[in-house]
Homo-oligomer: A and B are copies of this chain.
Amino acid sequence: MSNQNNIILGKLEVAGSAASKGERCDAAANRKLILATAEKLFAQHGVENVNMAQIAQEAQVGKGTIYRRFANKADLCLALMDSQMADFQNVMLERMRKMTAENVTPLEQLDQFLDALVYFIEDHAPLLCEVQREGLLGTYDLQVPHFWLHMTTSGLLRQAIEVGELAPQLDVEYIADALLASLRANVFRFQRQVRGFSLERISAGLRTLVAGLRFSEVE
């Protein structure tokens, strides 16, 4: 378990930064070396065609060394996305703050959020596939991204209820999970590659589901 991630004020302390904390400097160098090597090999041959032994060999490092830094391949992949994930979070948090200031409603913010997320996933589908391989029951660390997404989504849904955009009895927890389920990397990949859906279509479809939740009939 290499990433001692912490959730701080709804913001994610990502693994990359954990590197600095009390890590021997030869180890830190190796971590960087491993990440750089993995990134190179992944780019060259695709994530699924590169194995840990190859990374170790190319980085001139023992396999044990990799596993000391990274719990498994998924964790390594997660670490490779760390900075970009942090960026995404910061950008979105900032954007949402701004929207709130401009009185954009929570549900509209959710639309924006999901739309941006679709594009983020597109950019990182291969790595995400590996990260999410073990499903949602795996190591806690690997689920941190999911938890953040869930927190953000359910947060916006709750705000929407407060503002009266959504019915108060809505099962926020469930709905957030369900919406995000359709953005799991393997489903997403299937929709892109087999169904041939465009990003716009996926985003629009997802937002249709959100739109449907709007307060109208209390049933």
Taking beta carbons and an 8 Å cutoff, which residues of A are in contact with B?
129, 135-137, 170-171, 173-175, 177-178, 181-182, 184, 186-187, 189-191, 193-195, 197, 201-202, 204-206, 208-209, 211-214, 216-217, 219
Contacts and interface: CB of A to CB of B under 8 A. Distances in A.
Say whether chain A's binding surface is mostly helix, strand, loop, or mixed: helix
B175 A208 contact: yes
A197 B178 CA distance: 12
| Copies of this chain in its oligomeric complex | 2
Contacts of A212: 209, 211-214
B206 A178 contact: yes
A171 B129 CA distance: 25
Nearest to A172: B205
A120 B131 CA distance: 28
B171 A181 contact: no
A182 B189 contact: no
Greatest chain B CB density within 10 A among A170, A173, A187 is at A187
A184 B135 CA distance: 10
Contacts of A208: 170-171, 174-175, 213
A187 B176 CA distance: 12
B197 A174 contact: yes
B209 A195 contact: no
Given A171-B204, A208-B171, A190 B136 contact: yes
